Structure 1
Amino acid sequence: MSGSEHITRVRKLYKLIFRVHRALPPELRIMGDNYAREEFKRHKTCNPEESRIFLNEWTDYAINIARQMKPLQQAKKKTIGKYIDPKLLDHMTDEQIVQLYELHKAATQPYTNDSEETNSESRK
């Protein structure tokens, strides 16, 4: 794959991920958009093998989320995402495991809309 083809593929995937995120609940969309943005920045200069793995994983992610966001799927399951195979943890670096933990903490915290809190406090 030539350099320009690779760049085109990355851009299309990046845009697809943000389009798929539009169907997510607002709090998950914000978190997902920020996470995807940071990951794509972080992998901007990775080697070709890492790039191949990165693009395959994000493509699988986009397909998985798109399937889960279909109205019929939402009516049936009402869940988003999937569990990580624990065997994958053995192949992750310490930095990746910390990042995964931080993402887990952010995802499991109760959602608070700062603008609503600010508006309600200013009314008091």
Structure 2
Amino acid sequence: MFGPEHVSRVRQLYKLIFRVHRALPTELRIMGDNYARDEFKRHKNCNLEESRIFLNEWTDYAISLAKQMKPLQQVKRKTVGKYIDPQLLDHMTDEQIVQLYELHKAATQTNTENIEMQEHNTKDK
């Protein structure tokens, strides 16, 4: 299993992601928080190589989002996120591609649909 240093790094990254999400619009924050929470739970018992990749990708995400949330960047761009390199899709499993598609659908729904979906997910828990 992983040592205390690894566990500490994971906790710090997890907390950082939620802090960065505070700057997002409410709908994106809720979706991002839920997605991050689910992904960290899903990878809780992964192997060393998967853990390394997982932490690197989430660290890159947190840094990228933090840069985008700076006030000056918000004034310039007024958008959040970036496009995925299509070559990355070649390395994804079918399950990951489906999950990415579902995330895309959730991100592009109207505010009303997002609220309804969140209410439905809250009732299921």
Q: Could you tell me how far apart the structure 2 residues matched to 1:94 and 1:108 are? A: 21
Q: Does 1:23 align with 2:23?
A: yes
- What is the aligned partner in structure 1 of residue 123 from structure 2? none
**When the two structures are aligned, how many residues end up with a matched partner?**
114
* Matching residue's letter, 2:13: L
Which stretch shifts more, 105-114 or 58-67?
105-114
Q: What letter is aligned with 1:8?
A: S
Output one character per residue of 1:27-61: Cα deviation in whole Å (capped at 9) or x when no partner: 00000000000000000000000000000000000
1:3 corresponding residue in structure 2: 3
Q: Given residue 10 of structure 1, which amino acid in structure 2 is its aligned partner?
A: V
List, as ranges, runs of 4+ consecutive aligned residues in structure 1 with deviation greater than 2 Å. none
Relative to structure 2, which stretch is displaced further, 15-24 or 2-11?
2-11
2:49 aligns with 49
Which ranges of structure 2 fall in alignment gaps of 5 or more residues? 117-125
1:111 corresponding residue in structure 2: 111
Structure of greater relative contact order (alpha carbons < 8 Å, 6+ residues apart): 2
SS in 1 for 2:84: coil
Give distance in 1, aligned partners of 2:84 and 2:3.
32
Secondary structure in 2 aligned to 1:15? helix
User: Unpaired segments of 5 or more residues in structure 1?
Assistant: 116-124
> For residues 114 and 48 of structure 1, do their structure 2 counterparts lie closer, same or farther at Cα, with a shift above 3 Å needed?
closer
Matched-pair identity in %: 82
Larger radius of gyration: 1
